[in-house]
């Protein structure tokens, strides 16, 4: 493939090109001076021959000034406002100096007295000629003077959502590249003050909700819808827009944010698929960073399950706020190595202990806490995959029940300021061992918190996180890469979703606020505001569309049936819990009826023995005695 040179006369070397540029500018100055005289005299037939000498002097004088201002260094094919600004100052300087000196010397050397209009007209013609020549060269270089009917035949017609900086960069890049694959028909922007305005000649045709009407009014049908990632466009209901674009037969992509653009001439052309988190149908909740910072700065923080999806994001976000020391624990060697590598690379100045340990080992946990003496403990370690825990219930009990007890009691013994437990919506009215084990963990933390010890025991409950290990999004991506089908267990199954970053930010905010409130809010479970649940089959369809494919035509969606312990829908509160408003943004509170610490500890001890003996029926029976309403289909 032949690459088009960005240089004028590429067969010349740099010195020769510089000379040619200065000479061309001098020629423009020569004719600008003569044309100014003609316009000043108002006579097109004036004899300019006597002025040729002065015209040459003026053009050579301008060449010197342009050389001093280094106007020749600009690449004409990429001439910008900054270049034209430099050119303007060079032209003004040349006019003022030349005519100033000429006026001062006119009597001594016998020159005619000049009128004020002559330098003004000469300057306007000079600057206009210099700028016009460069703009014309740029248009020729980028093929803008070709017949648009033939130049646009094979280009993809697009509409852009959002009149923002990234859109401006994309449009400018397209206009500068005659070989671009795109032709922009217009822009849709949610703001009223942008309607009817233009960016590089591309008009804002309406608001995003007007997509159908805009397409109907266009002479040519757009083939692709391109989203910009900005604060304003984040408020646009993308799921509705994408459904409308799909109805209109349009594919869709998003522009990288400005920080994502790669270096190089084609950087702005690199469209990205819509991120699946963009399809939640709501803006992402933004936690109060100052609140979190005050909570974390100067504290010794310990995170269990630090190598997992939630634990690793907790570790990253906590590290970004500057704790005095961090201890990260995980039983997976690889996951622990990966997060240790990330933190040391990005936050190398933070003292950090990386400990390979299993929270089931009570002696090991106690030894770690005795040595590290953490101020804040985030307990994210858990077995969370419902079908796997159903197949291995004893392992679920040993990690989620016994492990939680070990970590909580160690936090109490070392007089930590707070123990923060990550819980799940599957703990509400559980129908599986995993959910029930997390419910028992909630009960235990609640009982410890109500004792009003020095340590606060806080539980934060939320639903699924997009992209976490074992969630549907990575599974669907793998299935798409294999050509399908995408497997959904039931056509009506729904789940609550958050992004990992959003969920962890809100966990940190909720924990900070709960501790600041003091003893009056003890015993409550904090529940993140997950908004409305989303059908899993809709997520599957959207991911197929994001791959530029058609659901049920290019890629099959296969219904496989509910798995053991799986529910059609999850809940954030059970019938016995009151949903309480809080003064913590994006956070509710549940006030479940507490169980006594003695009763829970007795049940935990019994469950540990049953799990060690792999007595599945005994485990289910014991859970049924402590978790009201526990229904386990496979062991009825």
pLDDT per residue as tens digits for the range 3-36: 445 445 555 666 777 788 888 888 888 888 878 8
Our count of domains for the chain comes to 3
Mean pLDDT of 527-546: 87
pLDDT at 305 > cutoff 90 = yes
- pLDDT score, position 273: 60
Mean pLDDT of 608-613: 97
User: Where are any strands of DSSP class E within 137-285?
Assistant: 156-161, 182-188, 198-199, 202-206, 224-227, 251-254
Same-domain check for residues 164 and 256: yes
Same-domain check for residues 267 and 338: no
Same-domain check for residues 504 and 358: yes
CATH number, domain at 176? 3.40.50.720
Cα 461 from Cα 590, distance rounded (Å): 9
Same-domain check for residues 521 and 426: yes
pLDDT at 409 > cutoff 70 = yes
- Is residue 328 one of the residues assigned to a domain? yes
Candidates 470, 373, 478; CA nearest to 416 is 373
Same-domain check for residues 156 and 136: no
Which of these three, 124, 141, 158, is where a domain ends?
A: 141
Which of these three, 112, 141, 170, is where a domain ends?
A: 141
- Is residue 555 one of the residues assigned to a domain? no
Cα 24 from Cα 29, distance rounded (Å): 9
Helices 616-626 & 433-450 angle (0-180, nearest 10): 40
Same-domain check for residues 63 and 152: no
- Is residue 488 one of the residues assigned to a domain? no
**For 311-336, what is each residue's pLDDT tens digit?**
999 999 999 999 999 999 999 999 99
- pLDDT score, position 385: 92
Which of these three, 116, 141, 166, is where a domain ends?
A: 141
- Is residue 552 one of the residues assigned to a domain? no
Asked if 134 and 83 touch (Cβ cutoff 8 Å), the reply is yes
Same-domain check for residues 63 and 211: no
- Is residue 414 one of the residues assigned to a domain? yes
Q: What are phi and psi of 479, to 5 degrees?
A: -65, -35
- pLDDT score, position 636: 43
Q: Which residue has the higher pLDDT, 53 or 420?
A: 420
**For 48-103, what is each residue's pLDDT tens digit?**
777 787 788 888 888 888 888 887 776 666 666 777 788 888 888 888 888 887 77
Burial 156-175 (b: 16+ CB within 10 A, else e): ebbbbbbbbebbbbbbebbb
**What domain range is 442 assigned to?**
289-464+498-531+571-635
- pLDDT score, position 55: 83
Same-domain check for residues 422 and 298: yes
pLDDT at 145 > cutoff 70 = no
Cα 135 from Cα 87, distance rounded (Å): 13
Candidates 523, 570, 515, 511; CA nearest to 314 is 511
Give the single-character DSSP code of 464.
E
Candidates 18, 6, 105, 119; CA nearest to 63 is 18
Mean pLDDT of 197-216: 89
- Is residue 30 one of the residues assigned to a domain? yes
- Which residues contact residue 354 at a Cβ distance below 8 angstroms, ignoring those fewer than 6 apart? 328, 336, 340
Asked if 411 and 338 touch (Cβ cutoff 8 Å), the reply is no
- pLDDT score, position 85: 80
Two structure tokens written together for 192: 């009223």
Backbone torsion region of residue 467, taken as left when φ is above 0, otherwise alpha when ψ lies between -120 and 50, otherwise beta? left
- Is residue 194 one of the residues assigned to a domain? yes
Q: What are phi and psi of 420, to 5 degrees?
A: -115, 120
Give the single-character DSSP code of 83.
H
Same-domain check for residues 55 and 163: no
pLDDT at 512 > cutoff 90 = yes
Lowest mean pLDDT of 38-42, 323-327, 579-583, name the range: 38-42
Same-domain check for residues 363 and 399: yes
- pLDDT score, position 12: 63
Backbone torsion region of residue 593, taken as left when φ is above 0, otherwise alpha when ψ lies between -120 and 50, otherwise beta? beta
Same-domain check for residues 524 and 405: yes
Asked if 8 and 76 touch (Cβ cutoff 8 Å), the reply is yes
pLDDT at 598 > cutoff 60 = yes
Same-domain check for residues 377 and 438: yes
Beta carbons within 10 angstroms of residue 331's beta carbon: 18
**For 155-181, what is each residue's pLDDT tens digit?**
788 898 888 777 888 888 777 666 677
- pLDDT score, position 576: 84
Give the single-character DSSP code of 186.
E
- Is residue 348 one of the residues assigned to a domain? yes
Asked if 319 and 343 touch (Cβ cutoff 8 Å), the reply is yes
pLDDT at 633 > cutoff 80 = no
Place of tokens 């000429």: 102
pLDDT at 300 > cutoff 90 = yes
| Edge-to-edge strands, sheet with 251-254 | 198-199, 202-206, 182-188, 156-161, 224-227, 251-254
Q: What is the pTM of this model?
A: 0.69
């Amino acid at each position: 493939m032949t690459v088009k040179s960005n240089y004028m006369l590429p067969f010349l070397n740099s010195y020769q090109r510089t000379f040619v540029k200065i000479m061309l500018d001098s020629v423009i100055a020569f004719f600008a001076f003569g044309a100014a005289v003609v316009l000043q005299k108002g006579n097109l037939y004036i004899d300019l021959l006597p002025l040729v000498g002065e015209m040459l002097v003026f053009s050579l004088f301008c060449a010197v000034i342009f050389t001093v201002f280094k106007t020749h260094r600009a690449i004409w094919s990429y001439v910008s406002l900054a270049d034209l600004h430099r050119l303007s100052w060079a032209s003004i300087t040349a006019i003022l100096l030349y005519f100033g000196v000429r006026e001062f010397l006119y009597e001594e050397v016998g020159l005619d007295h000049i009128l004020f209009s002559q330098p003004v007209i000469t300057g306007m013609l000079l600057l206009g000629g210099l700028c016009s020549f460069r703009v014309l060269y740029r248009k020729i270089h980028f093929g803008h003077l070709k017949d648009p009917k033939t130049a646009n035949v094979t280009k993809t017609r697009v509409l852009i959502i959002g009149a923002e900086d990234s859109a401006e960069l994309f449009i400018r890049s397209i206009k500068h590249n005659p070989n671009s694959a795109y032709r922009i028909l217009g822009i849709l922007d949610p703001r009223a003050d942008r309607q009817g305005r233009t960016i590089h000649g591309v008009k804002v045709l309406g608001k995003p909700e007007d997509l159908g009407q805009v397409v109907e009014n266009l002479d040519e049908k757009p083939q692709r819808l391109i989203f910009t990632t900005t604060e304003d466009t984040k408020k646009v209901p993308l799921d509705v827009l994408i459904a409308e674009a799909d109805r209109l037969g349009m594919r869709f992509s998003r522009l990288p944010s400005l920080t994502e653009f790669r270096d190089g001439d084609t950087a702005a052309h690199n469209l990205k698929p819509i991120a699946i988190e963009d399809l939640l149908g709501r803006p992402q909740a933004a936690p109060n960073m100052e609140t979190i910072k005050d909570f974390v700065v100067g504290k010794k923080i310990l995170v269990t399950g630090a190598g997992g999806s939630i634990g690793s994001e907790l570790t990253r976000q906590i590290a970004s706020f500057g704790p005095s020391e961090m201890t990260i624990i995980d039983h997976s060697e690889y996951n622990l190595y990966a997060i240790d590598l990330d933190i040391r690379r990005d936050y190398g100045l933070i003292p950090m202990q990386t400990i390979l340990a299993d929270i089931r080992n009570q002696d090991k946990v106690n030894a770690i806490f005795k040595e590290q003496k953490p101020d804040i403990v985030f307990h994210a370690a858990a077995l969370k995959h419902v079908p796997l825990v159903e197949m291995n219930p004893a392992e679920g009990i040993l990690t989620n029940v016994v492990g939680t007890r070990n970590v909580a009691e160690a936090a109490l013994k070392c007089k930590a300021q707070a123990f923060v437990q990550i819980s799940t919506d599957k703990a509400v009215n559980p129908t599986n061992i995993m959910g029930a084990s997390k419910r028992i963990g909630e009960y235990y933390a609640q009982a410890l918190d109500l004792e009003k010890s020095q340590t606060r025991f806080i539980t934060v409950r939320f639903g699924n996180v997009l992209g976490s290990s074992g969630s549907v999004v990575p599974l669907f991506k793998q299935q798409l890469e294999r050509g399908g089908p995408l497997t959904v267990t039931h056509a009506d199954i729904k789940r609550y979703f958050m992004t990992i970053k959003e969920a962890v930010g809100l966990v940190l905010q909720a924990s900070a606020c709960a501790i600041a409130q003091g003893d009056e809010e003890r015993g409550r479970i904090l529940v993140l505001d997950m908004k409305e649940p989303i059908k899993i089959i809709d997520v599957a369809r959207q991911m197929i569309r994001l791959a530029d494919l058609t659901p049920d035509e290019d890629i099959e969606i296969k219904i496989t049936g509910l798995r053991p312990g799986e529910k059609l829908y999850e809940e954030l509160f059970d019938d016995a819990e009151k949903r309480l408003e809080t003064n913590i943004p994006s956070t509710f509170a549940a006030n479940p009826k507490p169980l006594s610490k003695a009763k829970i500890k007795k049940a935990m001890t019994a469950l540990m023995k049953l799990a060690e003996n792999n007595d599945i029926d005994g485990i289910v029976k014991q859970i049924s005695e402590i978790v009201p309403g526990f229904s386990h289909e496979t062991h009825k």
